[in-house]
Structure 1
Amino acid sequence: MNAFRVAALLVAPLFVSGCYSTPKEKTEYEKQIDAVPMPATEAERVEQCRNFQQSADHQRIVDLLQYAQRSKLGDSDYEFTESRALLRRLRAMKCPGYGWFS
C-alpha cells in the first residue's frame, strides 16, 4: 500500500504539469484570421469557405517551397503556422473537405 502511495505522489506532479502547460502565443497571422467574423448566413459561409480554401491552397504551395528550400540548406525549423491557422478556421466553419468527418 505504501508503494502505491509513493508512486502516486511521484506521478501526480508530472500529470498535473502536463495538463496545465501554458498555451503558445498566437502569431500575427493567426490573430488576423481570428479577427475575421464568423459567417452569419449560409451564403456568407460558402463565400468565406471559398476564400479561405484559396488562401489555404496558396499557403500549401508556399509551405512546400519553404520546406524544400530549408531542407536543402539543412534548416528544418519551419512551423507551418499559417497553414494550421487556415485549417483551424476551415474546420470551424465546417467547410466541405476540411472537417474532421467530411
Structure 2
Amino acid sequence: MNALRIVALLVAPLILSGCFSTPKEKTEYEKQIDAVSMPVTEAERLEQCRNFKQIADRQQVEDFLQYAHRSMMGASDYEYTESLALLRRLRAMKCPGYGWFS
C-alpha cells in the first residue's frame, strides 16, 4: 500500500507539469504543411499520401545526415521538426503505415 502512495506522489507532478506546459509555437515549415488542404476524395488522399511519404523519406535521410554530422562535431541539439510535422500530417490523413494502428 505504501508503494502505491509513493508511486502516486512521484507521478502526480509529472502529470501536472504536462497539463500546464505552454504550447510550442509552430515553425514556418509546420505552417506550410498545415496550409495544404486535407484531401476530400480517396484518390486525393492516396495522391497526397504518396507525395508526403516521398518528402518524409527525403527528410529522414537529411535528418540522419544532420545527426551524423552533429555527432561527429560533438553537438547534439538538432531538432527533427520537419520530420515530426510530416509524420503528424501522414497520421492525420490516415496514410497506410503511419497511423497508430495501421
Say if 2:3 is the partner of 1:22: no
Aligned residues: 92
- Deviation string 1:9-38 (CA, Å, 9 cap, x unpaired) is xxxxx5655412110111100000000000
Give the corresponding residue for 2:84.
Answer: 84
Rg larger in structure: 1
For 2:43, the aligned partner's letter is A
In the alignment, structure 1 segments of 5+ residues that lack a partner are 1-13
Q: Structure 2 regions of 5+ residues with no counterpart?
A: 1-12
Amino acid at match of 2:101: F
Q: Distance in 2 between matches of 1:96 and 1:85?
A: 17
Identity %: 78
Residue matched to 2:46? 46
1:30-61 CA distance string (max 9 Å, x none): 00000000000000000000000000000000
SS across alignment from 1:50: helix
| Distance of 1:78 and 1:17 partners within structure 2 | 24
d(CA) in 2 for partners of 1:87, 1:17: 25
Letter in 1 for 2:29: Y
Give the whole-Å Cα distance in 2 for the aligned partners of 1:83 and 1:19: 25
RMSD (Å), alpha carbons = 1.8
Amino acid in structure 2 at the alignment position of 1:70: R
Measure the CA separation in 2 of the matches of 1:71 and 1:46: 37
1:5 paired residue number = none
Runs of 4 or more off by more than 2 Å in structure 1? 14-18
